[in-house]
A and B are shown apart, each in its own frame.
Chain A
Amino acid sequence: MAGHNHNKPESEAALRVKAIEQLLAEKGLVDPAALDVMVDLYENRVGPRNGAAVVARAWSDEAFKVRLLDDATAAIADVGYSGIQGEDMVVVENTPEVHNVVVCTLCSCYPWPVLGLPPVWYKSFAYRSRVVREPRAVLAEFDLVIPDETEIRVWDSSAEIRYLVLPRRPADSDGLDEEALAALVTRDGMIGVAAV
């Protein structure tokens, strides 16, 4: 038969996952269609645009910002975002005096409802081990230089508490509406490895 086999041999991990999915489906424990929904949710629908909307609202509405800093989970739910791995969220505000950065040294805990799933670097051994010990050096690797006189606070997330950074509103953003403000906010800013 002409033509060649386009299928690369599957990796060991891919085969094991396929085996496990089949075994669990045969026992009625997983429904492959339900797994599809979960994958789609986190691949395409839950992500940092959620957090950016929260940040933009906090920049625009002082009362909301106060509520966000006091009870982040409730305030974020008011904006429409809640769910697994965000049952207890805490928002930490960057100021001229304090710059915040978030990590999970033990695994990869992250506020999914507002940021989606964490990037590979956040889960890396290098980030997990170094940012708590030498945050300025790590931030410099992200091209973020924090002045010596600014305190850096590193927040180690846990199974129970997930942190989100409220970045400083850019100086030249007066007059922008919430949608335009949200477009300025990056995932890296909400983790603390970028200014905004």
Chain B
Amino acid sequence: MQKIPDRNFDALVKPTKLHRSLYTDPDIFELEMSRIWGQAWIYIGHESQVPNAGDYFTTNINHEIPVVMIRDKDDSVRVLHNRCGHKGAKVVDKQSGNVRGALRCAYHGWSYRFDGSLLKIPNEHGYQDTGFDASEPCYSMQPLAQVSSYRGFVFATLSDTIPDLVTWMGGAITCFDNLCDRAPEGEVEVAGGVLRYEHDCNWKFILENLNDTMHPMVVHESVVKAAESYIATLPPEAAKQRREAEIIPPFGASYENFENTGITGFDYGHHYDGGKTSIHADYSVDPDYHEAMVAAYGETRTREIYAFNTHNVLYYPSLTIKCAVQNIRVIRPISVDRFVVESWSFRLKGAPDSMLQRTVLYSRLINSAMGMVGPDDLEVYRRTQKGLHSPVNDWVEFHRQYGKDRILPDRIEGGGTSDLDMRTQYRAWKAYMEKSYQRGVDHA
């Protein structure tokens, strides 16, 4: 095993290539967990998952640190370390639910208010004159270092020095706006259940694949051909009614089409492909939905909202969203060769049910590990994880369109088939690992 540098990762991350140990070395994984997942804003959940006081949702903020998102009595949404101030037991064990009155540890019955402050210790007089001070924060369920939400999407961070959420999202924030603006009421809410899968590969593969537009026409060729050839045998009227016919074939779009979508990158590793157009741009518009949108926004603004059409947006490292499909995927590493991904769907408030139904259809067709598109992605991640154990070549390359990125004050733009997405996320990877974000953002 090599020695991992403390502050300088130049030997592992080059401008056009990465060392394979980023995907295989457990020591690098542990450093990622403390320096990337320990500094970045991590997506926790959506406020609509905890509508009433005492409603909670639990998750980890990295591969192992448990947290709980809970609605307080003053209607604010808290994110607390899910650890009893006494012996350290996880206080809330279920994934979601409601607690009445107070959070209570199952071990010795210490109880906490929904803001995490210590409410009561059973048989408390035993602590008298022992030097124990119940008001010390270490005896509470402590809030995360920073907690913030944007349009209902709740993030938290273990870092007290990372800039505020809005600054951190930078120009990528417009994608959250577009997702929510697609609701006639301007708000979205979680609906339609969740798909949760664990996969045998490094967590970074799924992030790298999001805006890798050189793979769809290869990896998804078989299903696109199968769908197109079978749908062509249907009577035209029957074929027109198949929403699958809008969703699956664009995965086989040409290199030229994907090049024209463009990729835009931001500080902290965020990026999206599309904007003016994407593989979701030609979806039909439900007339009832359009009517509700025009009533809410007027024709011009409605067209503007539709016109901003991205494919995948990455908020590095934990969240990817699809504005046009109202679907998000939440990533958590487990170990160097295992991660978990959850697909959540959202209802556009004020929109007809057909919109959520399309979101749910999309999720089971594309994101499901038994779907038509996702399984082939998962298979190539699995093969990559295996292949990278070969010592014959220590490097993974990403040269495409290197040197051609357009560097603007707040973003970097480039061709849709470029490796700009790789350059963007690994610039952030290196900055987090070298702790340079603690000294302020370094532009490319």
User: Do A and B form a real pair?
Assistant: no
Q: Which residues of A contact B (CB under 8 A)?
A: none
